Chain A
Amino acid sequence: MTGGRRRREGENLGLVAPAEPRPELMVWEALNIALDRALARDEAVFIVGEDVGLYGGSYRVTQGLYARYGEWRVRDTPISENSFTGLGVGAALVGARPVVEIMTVNFALLALDAIVNMAAKLRYMSGGQLAVPLVVRAPGGVARQLAAQHSQRLEHMFLNVPGLRIVVPGTPQDAYWQLTQAIEADDPVVVLEHELLYFEKGSFDPDAPPPPMHAAAVRRPGRDVTLIAWHRMVKVCLEAAGALAAEGIEAEVIDLRSLRPLDLPRLVDSVRRTHRAVVVEEDCRFAGAGAEVAAALTEAAFFELDGPVARVAGEDVPTPYNAALEAASIPDAGRVASAVRRLLGRAAGGPAATQSPSEQTGAQP
């Protein structure tokens, strides 16, 4: 239900950053290009958040956009998370496609009412009369010594909310594709970004046709075990897969890319070949997203599995400040590799072992 919006088609087109295939691009730049193109292409798009304008965004994601599109389309807000997220909801109801940046996901806790009680429910409660094409972007994850209040993952908080979509891009290409798709989607989408991936480089082609927003991607094929991860844990899994390959274990690494919906068919397909799966997540183990992945996969592919779906996850503690303790609180490649060895009944670096089943995975030898 848009009121007769004034069209200023093409006004900004000459100013769009050149988006050409570039061999090396960082995640923040890909997000920036996605926003730039969306603002140029569609007048319904505007950005709100703390320091997204003049300052250019805490992680540079909105750099240059304020100068290009002006304060009404790139709006610096006061520190009022619930209300500026709710502002996005209200505007979305009348035809806008707002992109709300929450400075870090930790502050999204103050905007949960707007996200959970409003954005996720209004289409349903209104009997389909209203749509909420809202994007909420939030950087998060365990970064470097930011301590407990600034270092957490809240995937689990959004996961159990019907009406939301949740994407977790981890590469420049996915960041571009999925943010673009999120803006174009007619549902509220939470885009979770990882603070340690913003300066991660990767190949980038803005004109390559994107896979569906929720599709998982195989990052490394393998036949012995399926490692399922997202965000930074994909890198950890690839590192573990490298080490395991030297021992003759071929791990398949799947980047989920989306947590709601889950690309379960892709996971089942992989497990049909490998018969073993480990979910690796940075979020705390208890009731994290990994628990849902493990449960859904077990239910859908139980008869294909040769052992339980194992989880390697963050420890159930608030994130400590001390660097060594902080590192110990989240999975690393070593922990992933040893979980795989236990699941396969192998000793470290050696052939098949005869040790007893691990208490962590309960795997049968």
Chain B
Amino acid sequence: MSTLKVELLYERSNAEKEGYTLPYTEIEEDYVMDTIPKQWQRDKIGLPSVTETEVARHFYNLALLNYGVENGMYPLGSCTMKYNPKMNEEIASLNGFQKVHPLQMDDTLAGNLFLMYDLEDMLCAINGMDAFTLAPAAGAHGEYVGMSIIRAYFKDRGESNTRTKILIPESAHGTNPASAISAGFSVVEIKSTKTGEVDMDSLKANLTPEVAGIMLTNPNTAGMFEKNIKEIADLLHRNGSLLYYDGANLNAIIGYARPGDMGFDVVHLNLHKTFSTPHGGGGPGSGPVGVKERLIPYLPNPRVILNEVNKHNEEVEDRLIRKDDFKKSIGRIRLTDSSFGVLVKTYAYLLTLGENNIKNVAVNSVLNANYVRVMLKDDLKCYIDGICMHECVLSAKPLEKYGITALDIAKRLMDYGYHPPTNYFPLIIPEALMIEPTETESKEDLDKFIETMKIIVQEAKDNPKLLKDAPTKTPIRRTNDVKAAKDLNVAWK
């Protein structure tokens, strides 16, 4: 990796430089002066003026300061940083997908509507759900939508004033409570066991008639399967409450088991995790939400459906329409119908996998995580005994006596060319290092990673300063975050 020398494009701006020329036009009249009042016009925009060469070089060099999935292993727990197939990018960039407008008439969009219709079917099959909306823009957006569906369901049953609470285990991701709040619920935190599972006593104690539902991640954020899921589902359903599935960890069970069969009524998926679409440095993602039959009426508008009026048209493609006036719907949740480009990539991925390979995703992701776990459990501490699912949580606690923390290990890994695992999450495990290798990692590479971790643990004992000073081989070293917040500088002036 190259070292950083910050130079913004602003710093090489010169009014004479240009990086763009407008297309030809035969309209020569200038209407601006006559039609836009002078006092409504601005003098200066405040953008730099540089040439295309300079732009290309600037961003290429910035890319060299980044670490992506091609750089090496990216075992970021809870994030499923699997390989992003190249084919996906090329397909999503096809003219036929790029250069179409969301407000075209439905009969000019047969290809796109079919893709959405077919993808919805596939996601139903994979998850055991009855319908999906492909609209949500990311996981948290899906959570908001799912929670709103639950709210609409109870409202429809005349229970909106009484069903006000959502149960969330303390091991849950931060978006879960934040999303429940944005959908108008209050949050009741329930205790987690040592393995991040739902504490059944705490659950029972809090399962009152006000409970609208529970949000669960399964496997949970500690990488463990909720053994009691059946009992939890029965308890909730008997209480008239619903179960919400945070699909961030679906990679562990995809093709092997389905949330719909476990009793979940609503699920969201992260296409940018399980379904191979890239993270883009923080999005765009896509967070489809699946529901059971009785919740279909509340899905957001619009939905792609088969037009029953035009039945004589045999081709499905010719009968698909977007219907946007479902009366019980929670309403529209975004400007356009979906993050379509992300859906294209997911569809291409699923076609490539096919039903015979899909289970292998889960099998190899679980295999890889357990391999790392057993190989490192004597070097670090494993608070959770036994087989994990697609990620394992190790703890740097034993290195405390050398003054070493999880963060130090994470930073030292960078010097060896790795992206560190997620650290300090889940909160229930001290000095957590949460490792999710994903199925796209090979045994050879896992062996190298394991070897490196062992070296680092040894270094921690022999020469902890190496870890405290790390990283030293990256473009910059540890940052001053206090200064960033105190002397706030968020835009160039």
Partners in one complex: no
Q: Which B residues contact A (CB, under 8 angstroms)?
A: none
Residues in chain A within 8 A of chain B (CB atoms): none
